Amino acid sequence: MQPPLKRCFFYNLRQMPYTDAHIWQRSLLAERIQDPSLDDVLILLEHPPVYTLGQGATPEFLKFDLDTSNFEVHRVERGGEVTYHCPGQVVGYPILNLQRYRKDLHWYLRQLEEVIIRVLAGYGLIGDRLTGFTGVWLEGRKVAAIGIKVSRWITMHGFALNVCPDMTGFQHIVPCGIADKPVASLAEWIPGISCDEVRSQIARAFAEVFDVDLIEVAR
């Protein structure tokens, strides 16, 4: 007899300011550190334009002056270098207790990549991993960035998939600190693609890869 699937609450949201989502993630993480029996969570949303730097990120990958620009910039506790979020990019924040899965951060990163690779495969596209890097590429161009934070084996932060964003915001940074590998969006391969349809594909792939029962809830 198959064991029951793990439950994972699913918030499928529209736009949310980055700071609001960050506070929410930290609250969910703290609750689960306090009570590890709480169910896992997957949040999918979009952000207004914002740049984020990982905790050890190098400011030299910014092509603007932090003190004089009008850009919204936040340094947060995830790994990785600078990245850009904006409407048209689906951001996923899994709050998972890895003790239910595998206590292995490399495994977890590869699973997040696998979610995106399966989404791309559904559109007849072959997503690639590049040795030594984290994320997913299409024909040598990066379409998904991944950066995580794990505390007591509970995850926060996650992945960002460029679906149909205005890509000009990426021109102000060296995305993920990788100067020789350009970024791209799915719209360049699939004109007319929308975040709404991709969200449902991400949810389906996530449930398959992590073997969970997604329970959609409103916030």
State pLDDT tens for residues 89-120: 999 999 999 999 999 999 999 999 999 999 99
Q: What is the pLDDT of residue 57?
A: 86
Angle between helix 105-121 and 195-210 (nearest 10): 130
Q: Catalytic amino acids?
A: 176
**CB of 125 closer than 8 Å to CB of 118:** no
191-210 pLDDT per residue, tens: 999 999 999 999 999 999 99
Q: Which two tokens stand for residue 145?
A: 């960035």
Q: What is the pLDDT of residue 2?
A: 66
pLDDT band at 1 (very low <50, low <70, confident <90, very high): low
Cβ-proximal residues to 93 (8 Å cutoff; 6+ apart), any chain = 21, 25, 41, 42, 43, 44, 45, 156, 157, 158
CB atoms within 10 A of CB 23: 11
What average pLDDT does this structure show over 68-82? 92
Is the pLDDT at 179 greater than 80? The verdict is no
**CB of 193 closer than 8 Å to CB of 111:** no
For each of the domains in the chain, give its residue range(s) and CATH number, in order of start: 6-216 (3.30.930.10)
What average pLDDT does this structure show over 38-43? 98
pLDDT band at 10 (very low <50, low <70, confident <90, very high): very high
**CB of 41 closer than 8 Å to CB of 28:** yes
CA dist., res. 125 & res. 120, Å (int) = 5
What average pLDDT does this structure show over 127-136? 94
CB atoms within 10 A of CB 141: 15
Q: How far from 177 is each of 107, 132, 157, CA to CA, in Å?
A: 23, 13, 18
For the entire predicted model, the pTM comes to: 0.96
Cβ-proximal residues to 170 (8 Å cutoff; 6+ apart), any chain = 84, 183
Q: For all residues of the chain together, what is the average pLDDT?
A: 95
Q: What is the pLDDT of residue 160?
A: 98
